[in-house]
Every structure is written in C-alpha cells, then in structure tokens.
Amino acid sequence: MTHTTRWLTLALGLTLAGMTHAQTSAPAGAHAPDDAYLWLEDIDGTRAMDWVKQQDAATVADYAQSSEFKRLDARLLEVLDSNERIPFVQKLGDHYYNFWRDKAHPKGLWRRTTLAEYRKAEPAWETVLDLDALAAAEHENWVWHGAQCLKPDYRRCLLSLSRGGADAEVVREFDLHDKAFVEGGFKLPEAKTQVAWADQDHIFVGTDFGPGSMTESSYPRIAKLWARGTPLAEAKTIYEGKPEDLAVSAYRDLTPGYERSFVQRALAFYDSESYLLGKDGKLVRIDVPTDAETSVEREWLLIEPRSDWTVGGHTYKAGSLLATNFDDFMAGKRDITVLFEPTDTTALDGYSWTRHHLILNVMDDVVNRLEVLTPQPGAWKRQPLRGAPALSSIDAAGIDEDASDDYFLTVTGFLQPTTLYYGTLGQGDAEAIKHSPEFFDGSRYQVSQHFVHSKDGTRVPYFEIAPKDIRLDGSNPTLQYGYGGFEISLQPSYSGSIGRAWLEHGGVYVIANIRGGGEYGPRWHKAALKANRLRAYEDFAAVSDDLIKRKVTSPAHLAAMGGSNGGLLMGNMLTLYPQLYGAIVSQVALLDMKRYTHLSAGASWMAEYGDPDKPAEWAWIKTFSPYQNAQPGKHYPPVLFTTSTRDDRVGPAHARKMAAKMQAMGYDADFYENIEGGHGGAADNKQSAFMHALEYTWLWQHVK
C-alpha cells in the first residue's frame, strides 16, 4: 500500500481519522431544522455533558455494581495486564523495541532489549520512556501514538502523543541515545498531523498551519519541508492539494542506496495520486490508476489495482499484486510481473519484504496461507512457507528489510493462544520463541466455518465458536459480531476477554464475514459500497437467520455487537431486522447518516457511503441511516450505545443523539460514554476492561 494509505490506516483503526477535538461541532448552516437533538453535538458543552453524566450514572447503577460485574471486570483486566502476554517488538538499529502496558504502568513503557535477551523467557528490558512518569510530570493524560525513527542510526525519533486517546496528537523529537526529548528539537502542537523524516535536519510535515491549510475532511492539505532551528511558518511548501481532497502528505524512502522522496495526494478514501519528488522540486506522477495502491522497495514498484487495469496490451485483475522495476516504469516501460491473482475464494491479505524475498499472505475462504517469492527475471520463484493449523490466522513479517532475511511469524486462532516464531528464510523452519498464555480452557469448545446464501444468492462465510456438547435446541445465548466496511477482514484470533466474558458462561460466539469487508478482496468490498450498502446488512441478517434455522439459537437469545462502521451495522440491524435479536450493542458508531459528513471525520468517508447533501445520494443513504429510520411504535430489542467524549474520529454525537431519540420514544436504550479513550473507547487497560465488562454484563442480562 502507499505511504499515505499506511498513515490513514494507522489513523483509521477501523475508520479514518478526522478533525481535532475542538472542531467536532457542526459548522454553521449545516443544521437539520427538524433534529431535536442537535444540542448533543456540542461535544464539551455544559448541557450535553450534564446529559452524558446522568446517562453514565444510570447505566453504571444498573449494570456495573453487582458482584458479577466486578468479578468480570477484574478478570478482564487480568487478561489485559498479564505479564505473560507476548511483547511484540520492532527492530530499530541494534535493539528491539516494545511498548508495554500493565498494572504497574497503565499508560505504558517504551522499552528495548537485544535479540539474545528477547529470545529468553524473561528478557531484561531497558526503559526508554516512562509514559506514566511523563504524564504525571506534565499533568496530561498522555496516550502513546507511536514513533518514527531516522535511518540508518535510529538515534532521533519523532514521538506522537495524544491527550486522552484522541486522534489529534502532539509531535516531539526524542533522542534514543540520551533517552530524552531533544531541547530545541522538532515540536508540533496538537493537531491532525503527518510527519516524516527527510534527513537529520529536515522533516516533511502536514498539519494545521492556519485557516485553509486543512482539507474539508480535516486532513493536512499542504505538505512542507521544515528545517531544524527555523520557525514552522518558514517551512517550504512542497505541494498543495485542493480543499476537496482527502489529504496530502510527503515522505522520504531512506533505504540506503535507494533514497527517494515522494508526495501523495489522496483524492478520496480509495483514490490517490503518487509523485516522485525530484531534487529540483519537480514532481513526476507514478502513472497508475488512482484507485491502485503502490509501494516502492529498493528497485521494485508493487501495484495493487482495485479495478481491472489494462496496460501494455495486458489486463490485470482487480485485487492482483503486480511487480515492475521502478526506474523502468518511470521511464515508460510496462514490463509487469503478476505476483498474485485472485480467484473466487482467494484474496491478498498482505505482504512483507525481507532483504532478498517477498512474503505473500493469501486468504482462501478467510483462512491464511503464506508464500515466499524471490525476485528473478520473468516469473518470480515461489515456495510455500509453513502454514497454520485449520481455521487459524497466520502472518509473517520481515524484521529488517534493509539487512536480513529474518522474519517473525505469528499464529493465532479462536481457541489457540498466539505463538510467535523467529526464523530466517532459506534456513529451515522458524522457531517458536514466545507463547501467549491460555486465559480460558479452549478444549471445551469447537470452531467451525459455515456458509450461507444472502438475499441475492451471494455465498457468505461465518465462523462459529461453540461448546463441544452444544444442544441444537435454540436456547444457546449467541453473540454475533460483524464489521463489513472499508475492506477490513475479520479473521480468526485469540481473545482471552471473549473467552472469559462469553464462552465460559455458555455462550456461542460468531464472526460474520459480510460484504463491505476485505475477505474476498476489492470485489467483496465494492459489493456493499454506497447504493449497495444494504447488501452488508442482508448478509449479516442471513447469518442470523441461519443460526436460528440451525437451532443454534433463537431471537430471544441472539445478540449482535459491532463498533465504528460495525456500530452503524448494529444500528441497521436494530431498525431493519429487529425481529432477529434479543439485544444489540453499538460501539463508537456512525448512526446519523444525514449529518455524518458534518460531524467529526465524516467527510472522509463519502467514498464509502455517499454524500447525503446530494439529494440523489441521500435517496439511498436514508435507507441505512438508523437515526432517521428509528420510529415509534416498533418492537425494537434493547440496545446499548457506548462511545467516548475524546473520539474525534466518529465522534460521540451519533450515539448520544440516537440514545436520546430512542429513549424519548419509550424504547429500552442504554448509554455509556467514557470521558476519555478516543475511537478505541478507552485510554488504558483499566478503562478497556471496564467498558468490555459493562457491555458483556449488559448482554447477559438480556439474552441468557
């Protein structure tokens, strides 16, 4: 994927980031005159916050006071804080770095060790930055957002820190040798910012430079080159996008011998233009379709077209992975090698470089397999990399693509705690070096994969985790989870929290791989875009119907849960298919699709949903806008809406307004808003455990 796509994906979580916390109120003139709950869009307003506090108090009193809740809260926090978890690492120079939270360090430690130590059962760690100590000293609730460190010595880093978990962040320069912030170094105030090293004394930066410097989607519109020791106002403009663009960014590939600078202009969520930035400041576009994703590694340009692409007398299928020599391509040659081509059941899940090889991760009916490709003239040499157990997820990633063929391999499954392997391509099998603990007794359960035909005949897969001795009599409490958007796939993974909160109590857990996701590549995603959005909801309902038909459960015992875009899914299951469910939990959700482009980051997602300000597009958007479609006199199941005040991505206004409207109509609608936490809903493990315990306690009281 492109550098811009990587940045947006990191900001996305499950949806894209948007404007700063202070900008989450609607712009003047954007109000809907018939909306009685607009006042709840005033994120930090006294009236709105008083309502939130009253709602929170009522929900806590009803669901978070029992001994059962407190026991579950403690057991979930035990999972999140466990010192036996795998400390996943990133290699920077000679050290392996890890960011770690536990009971003693709720905000976290940035720490490092050597490979020899890391391979031990209990490595010796050196603390680089204690975020709890920093937060206490500065009287801020800092949340770690990551670090970018400068090749090749990896001494200087750009650290991103968020107040309370919001997407807006501050950026500060940090010295890994001194383990301290650099006095007089690069420093940026809180904003939606994109930064990247150009060299020791320059960084590329896109941020809020003042009025007009951000796009209508509230991403940086201008990319600049900022020299050390000079005011930000004197940074040199590299490129300016248009206000209607999604974002503009710039970065430099610092691979030794292949140093190149790039500018990327994101036109919309799935469309972008990439440019090579010459030393003379001129830009040369990488001539691929705007909906294709590209990446450059050493001499290679990799291209992922999202639509069929005809070039050089050949047509390449959407969802393929193509390779060509970068310099030759920029010179006009179109000698392209197909590295992967999708089938009806396969899709590219990702890829990773080592020094001499490319590891491909392919999904076949949502189950992974790995291949190792070696560049050579014509068709690249390919070999399988050992696979995973049935119905598991497997991933491999190069550790240092500049210097070695070492790689980490992770294997996980619904009932299989994650195992981390370390290996070197071409030198035998990888060795297991880390194991996650078992937080529940997986031997009591079984995993199965099922397929059901949706309303239009499309074959839709889903995973089911159930007790081995399950009785198919319709009485099993069942929780069905889904997402269905932004080409994001839901794959098997181990969750101690789900095991302890749901499976151990006798519940059945189901993952629905509905359209809108990426389980079968771009075609699966495009099938539920815009006017076709209802296909995703039909798929989810089809899975629910199948669970009921198979007598796994029944509507009184079937619950549904989803977050973000999945929270929108939940809103539509509530309003379009209420007869199927006994309870619904909608987390950090989009719900008011009439106003979504005027709330938080909503303008970023028009490529996914459409523009409700255009009458022709509102005609289809209104069919999946829960806030508008909730009506009195219906038989809606009980619903819980959870959100966060500091969510500057989707924003809490959606959940607030939906809960208030449903309560006014007399429905059983509960609400809880964490004052911190951002789009993830929680700023630390303690908050996360509380939120999950609240949601699962609420569910058990409605569907057991």
- 693 and 618 in a common domain: yes
Q: Which of 564, 600, 625, 688 is labelled catalytic? A: 564
Residues 436-472: pLDDT tens digits? Answer: 999 999 999 999 999 999 999 999 999 999 999 999 9
User: Is the predicted pLDDT of residue 36 greater than 80, yes or no?
Assistant: yes
Cα separation of 61 and 55, whole Å? 10
Residue predicted with more confidence, 278 or 5: 278
Q: Which residues contact 335 (CB under 8 A, 6 or more apart)?
A: 312, 324, 325, 328
At 353, is the pLDDT very low, low, confident or very high (cuts 50, 70, 90)?
very high
pLDDT at 461: 98
Query: pLDDT at residue 510 above 90?
Result: yes
For residues 299-319, average pLDDT: 97
* Cβ atoms of 252 and 196 closer than 8 Å: yes
**664 falls in which pLDDT band (50, 70, 90)?**
very high
C-alpha 105: how far from its chain's center? 24
Confidence at residue 19, expressed as pLDDT on a 0 to 100 scale: 26
Residues 379, 446 share a domain? no
Q: Which of 416, 436, 456 is the last residue of a domain?
A: 436
pLDDT tens by residue, 240-294: 999 999 999 999 999 999 999 999 999 998 999 999 999 999 999 999 999 999 9
Measure the CA–CA gap between 223 and 198, rounded to whole angstroms: 12
Domain match, 318 and 378 both: no
pLDDT over 60 (residue 413): yes
Task: Find the CATH number of the domain harbouring 539.
Answer: 3.40.50.1820
pLDDT score, position 454: 98
Do 369 and 516 reside in the same domain of the chain?
no
301 and 379 share a domain?
no
Last residue of a domain, one of 401, 436, 471: 436
Under 8 Å between Cβ of 324 and 299:
no
Q: Give the pLDDT score at 675.
A: 86
Establish if 551 belongs to a structural domain: yes
Q: Which two tokens stand for residue 692?
A: 């999950």
Q: Which DSSP category does 523 fall into?
A: H
Count the Cβ atoms, other than its own, within 10 Å of residue 294.
22
Range of the domain at 358: 348-436
Count: domains in the chain = 3
Q: Based on the domain organization, do 546 and 674 belong to the same domain?
A: yes
* Contact (Cβ atoms closer than 8 angstroms) between residue 108 and residue 97: no
- 67-90: average pLDDT: 97
Q: Are residues 302 and 337 in the same domain?
A: yes
Annotated catalytic residue, options 525, 557, 598, 679:
679
Clarify whether residues 521 and 372 are in a common domain: no
**E strand map for 574-652:** 583-587, 639-644
Express as a percent the part of the chain with pLDDT over 90.
Answer: 89
Does any domain span residue 117?
A: no
Identify whether residues 399 and 358 lie together within a single domain: yes
Query: What does the DSSP 8-state code read for residue 164?
Result: T
pLDDT at 387: 61
| 579 and 693 belong to one structural domain | yes
Domain membership flag for residue 152: no
Instruction: Supply angle C-alpha 643, 564, 30, rounded to 5.
Output: 80
CA R_g for the chain: 25
- Domain end: 436, 470, 498, which one? 436
How confident is residue 11, by pLDDT bands cut at 50, 70 and 90? very low
For residues 522 and 620, membership in a common domain is answered with yes
The residues, ordered by sequence, that sit 6+ positions from 607 with a Cβ below 8 Å of its Cβ are 268, 269, 270, 271, 529
Span 512-536, average pLDDT = 98
In 3-state terms, what secondary structure has residue 284?
A: strand
Residue 240 lies in a domain: no
Please report the pLDDT score of residue 32 as a whole number.
60
> Residue 564 catalytic?
yes
Q: What is the DSSP string of 62-80?
A: HHSSSHHHHHHHHHHHHHH
Q: What is the DSSP string of 6-25?
A: HHHHHHHTTS---S-GGG-S
Asked if residue 423 and residue 478 are part of one domain, the reply reads: no
Residue 660 lies in a domain: yes
Tell me if residue 198 falls in helix, strand or coil.
strand
